[in-house]
Structure 1
Amino acid sequence: MTADNALPDCVALRIGLAARALPDTTPAELVRVLIAVLGQPLTEAKLNTLKVKDLKTGANGALSEIDDMAALRQALQCLHGEDDTAAQAAVPTPQPDAEGRLPNSIQVACASNSGERLDGHFGSCARFLIYQVSATEARLVAVRPAPATTRLSIDHSAERVKLIDDCDLLCVLSIGGPAAARVVNSGIHPFKRSQPEDVALLLGDLQTMLAGKPPPWLAKRLGRATGERPPQPSEVAS
């Protein structure tokens, strides 16, 4: 198997779930570590032999800076096929959008792996939950499955940005520098939260800001969404 070969679905599923458990780690990066440790082709039998130290030391310590042992153990469980139930986590149902876009609202994409939770990293989350948010209402309008990373030669960040290019705000736990630049250049403001949380908490914070005096970066997105000013894809808010 070469780096361009698609992984078997069963192996790709395990790797995708494991990458979601690790901070700032894409499935492609994890594949490189696994190939360095186990060789090619990657199989379920080989994945079952992995230990935490293999993840820390493989590919010249590519993941050595990850000190979260709970995350490493969860990733190992996924690689062993012990956490496949996570793939079946409830996916929320969008509300009908019969009345069109909410007045004076922004459109927000949240990186999610389970339920209505903001618990995903940009490069490895299972899906993006799309909300319209105004000062008085928040509405889930779409659930967009994110593309799986099973080929190393494809720039999956571009696919993911295209998936949310109608949004004003991207909310994630983490996002790499090149991907963040691509997001900003698409006119979307990346917004990081430090810990996983229910999306309702994030939406409440955004509504509070919208109801008061929004910070400049949010005011600009609100103005763009309501047609008060043209998009400015290159601007970076602080």
Structure 2
Amino acid sequence: MNSAPQRKLQLIDRAAHSFWFHVAFATNDQEHINQHFGSCKALAVYGLDDAQAGLVEVIQFNPTIAGHDQGKLMARYQALENCAAVYCNAIGPSAVGHLLATGVQPVKVSAGMSIHQALIELHQQLLDGPRGWLAKAMKHQDSNTSHKQQLNALLDDEW
């Protein structure tokens, strides 16, 4: 069976590339966090920094794949490659283990929480000083930025 995302809407915006990190939300309406990770109809991916949050892409999955098909989960894992976290209503233990091993923090929230509210809370935490998984993601981001700057400096040197 084809486990690849059925449709992927990616927003091309220069500002999207300057976000500090990306967060995904398991949703069926792009307004609420209202899905189980393994069976979500879509992931809405937002970028965040201290000044703004913006929709980067929406990935819709093939609804005909049912059950615990490993290919179905692989499509979701691949969709989260550049994300620091995924918010959902439920997630299985094997998916939690896989996500944590790849640096993606699963965040379980109550059914129906609005994506907007989650973004407000994340933004406030950025302003107040990140805690928990967000602090870890920010530290990782700072480390990656530092490595990129070092690599660019090395490439700029005359050989």
Match in the other structure for 1:130: 45
- Alignment-derived partner of residue 150 in structure 2: none
Identify if the C-alpha distance between structure 1 residues 94 and 118 changes in structure 2 by more than 3 Å, giving closer, same or farther. Answer: farther
Worse overlay, 213-222 or 202-211 = 213-222
| SS of aligned partner of 1:128 | strand
Aligned equivalents of 2:67, 2:88: Cα separation in 1: 23
Say which SS state the counterpart of residue 38 (structure 2) adopts: coil
TM-score by length of 1: 0.52
Q: 1:162 — aligned with what?
A: 78
> What is the distance in 2 between the residues matched to 1:185 and 1:229?
22
CA deviation vs aligned residue, 1:77-102 (integer Å, no higher than 9, x gap):
xxxxxxxxxxxxxxxx7654123523
- Is the Cα–Cα contact under 8 Å of residues 168 and 225 in structure 1 kept in the other structure? no
Q: Does 1:203 align with 2:119?
A: yes
Equivalent pairs: percent with the same residue? 25
SS of 1:217's equivalent in the other structure is: helix
Unaligned runs of 5+ in 2: 2-8, 148-159
Alpha-carbon distance between aligned partners in 2 of 1:152 and 1:172, rounded to the nearest angstrom: 17
Equivalent-residue separation in structure 2 for 1:137 and 1:129 (angstroms): 16
Q: What's the Cα RMSD here?
A: 2.4
**Alignment of structure 1 residues 24-103 onto 2, 5 Å:** 95-103=11-19
Q: Determine if contact 2:38/2:68 at 8 Å carries over to the other structure.
A: no
Structure 2 counterpart of 1:98, one-letter code: R
Whichever of the two has the greater Rg, that structure is 1
Answer yes or no: is 1:139 the counterpart of 2:54.
yes
Letter in 1 for 2:119: L
Stretches of structure 1 that go unaligned for 5 or more consecutive residues are 1-5, 7-92, 231-238
The 1:163/1:187 distance shift into structure 2, 3 A limit, reads: same
SS in 2 for 1:144: strand
* TM-score for both structures, normalised by structure 2: 0.76
C-alpha distance after superposition, 1:45-71 (max 9, x if no partner): xxxxxxxxxxxxxxxxxxxxxxxxxxx
1:136 offset after TM fit, Å?
2.1
